[in-house]
Amino acid sequence: MTRSDPGVVDAAATRSDAPATAMSTPAATDGTDIPDAHGRAAVDLVRCLARPTPSGDERADAVALARESDPKEVLAAASALGVGPLVCTHVENGGEAFPAALRDQTGEYRRRMMARSLHLLTALHAILDAFGASGVRALAYKGPVLATVAYGDVGGRAFSDLDLFVPREDLPAAATALADLGFALDPEDPTRFSPADVARGGHVVRPPAEFRFVRHDGVVVELRWRLGSRVRPFPLTFDDCWNRRVDVVVGGRSVPTFGHEDRLLVLARHGAKHHWNRLGWAVDVAALLTRVDVDWPVVEARADALGARRVLAACVLLAAETADAPVPPLVLARARADPRVRTVVADAVTDYDTEPLTAAFGVDGPRARIVDALLCDSRRAWLLYRLRLGFEPQEVDAETVPLPRALHRLYHVVRPLRLASALWRPDTEGRERR
């Protein structure tokens, strides 16, 4: 698998005033066994319950829809949308109002997900112990930490891997500690860089922002040293996050993680990166804001400093409109007053309504570039984004035109020439590799 290159885009994405357009992506799964098609009633049921606290009307609608739905389709839809455990919780809390067959399915799903979650949690504890012994600072986020903070329970949110944020200089020691625990770099996610290469810095070709490690027992670790990219910067540094960290008790152990304001910004950045094409990410934000107090002036000021004002605005508006996130009225009013933010949110909601089972990962091409352009905070930010997209060398450039390291600066010329050539390439495969 080649790391993706976002280079060639639709004409609409080349303008900072790109209009709202209908966007769609191929359907895929999130790793569970998802049928090709779901009953509409099952999807609508999940939409009713995909929020921290459904209203009385939403609960009543869900009960009525449950009578028309295949229980397996309900759980498959909930998994695909990233809200499986939350839907199970609401069904279980509804008791006999829901059909026994659905309750049986949710119970089995919960047992399976909890076993997986505890397996990953045990691995996280071992990794943090190994990092501590090696002097590696690390912040755990998403996975069992987000499940605990946002939902109050390690089993409250489905996750399939462990996410760790480390300083760049600690990458080699972290990789060695993981190797001692039986992990290896994922051969399905190849890169020309090693953790030691990235730690040394000074690269012309953009190195990956994270390394993916796998182990024979199915545990996957994503080791991240940068939250943004050189094309789409998000300069929230490790040291700043470490200095503002909080400790959360996860599975009986204290785990260092992001402070609440930083966590909200990281979730907003992650959703924007994948163009908010999965309902569960908006629900995660709503669940987080339901359980923790956020200093809104601080988080908004921090977003402005990061060049992520619209990223944050789209995040909280989407979470409020789809999952009833408790966002202050003034914050929502500012988000709604921005037509670009409204466009991004309206398009995501349209997807949830018309293509709810579309997978988020792998979104690329014109759709991605349009959303990226709309979420730029200024024309200057948009222009810099376009320049980086066209001239910032990517790994695919080095794969296509191998050069000795001494000549790597030529990739700043190679890249635009290669992209210009690719625009006229008639073969579909070539277009997909850009």
Residue that the structure tokens 């988000």 belong to: 335
- Residue 346 identity: A
Which CATH number covers residue 138?
Answer: 3.30.460.40
304 shares its domain with 424: no
Token pair listed for 280? 């569960």
pLDDT value for 364 = 59
140 three-class SS: strand
Residues 7 and 35 in one domain: no
In a domain? residue 293: yes
Residues in Cβ contact with 264 at an 8 Å cutoff, skipping those fewer than 6 apart: 285, 288, 289, 294, 299, 312, 315
Mean pLDDT, the chain cut into blocks of 10 residues (434 residues total): 45 34 35 52 94 97 95 92 96 96 95 96 98 98 97 95 98 98 93 90 86 97 92 93 98 97 98 91 98 98 97 98 98 98 93 68 66 94 91 85 86 86 59 42
CA distance 53 to 34: 26
- Compute the C-alpha angle 50/53/58, nearest 5°: 65
> Residue 161 corresponds to which tokens in the numbers above?
């891997």
Do 191 and 278 fall into the same domain? no
Which of helix, strand or coil describes residue 102? helix
- Given the structure tokens 């930490």, which residue do they identify? 145
Domain span including residue 424: 393-434
CA distance 369 to 386: 10
Verify that 65 and 187 share a domain, yes or no.
Answer: no
Rounded Cα distance between 58 and 48, Å, is: 5
The tally of domains found in the chain comes to: 4
Residue 84: per-residue pLDDT: 96
Query: 122 with 245, same domain?
Result: yes
Structural domain contains residue 385: no
Does residue 233 lie in a domain region?
yes
The torsion angles phi and psi of 365, rounded to 5 degrees, stand at 80, -155
Domain boundary among 236, 258, 280: 258
Distance, in Å, from the CA atom of 186 to the CA atom of 178, rounded to the nearest integer, reads 12
Q: Are residues 321 and 417 in the same domain?
A: no
Q: Output the CA torsion sign for 60, 63, 68, 71.
A: positive
CA distance 276 to 286: 14
d(CA 119, CA 127): 13
330 and 280, same domain (yes or no) = yes
Helix (H), strand (E) at residue 223 = strand 220-224
Q: Cβ(314)–Cβ(344) under 8 Å? A: yes
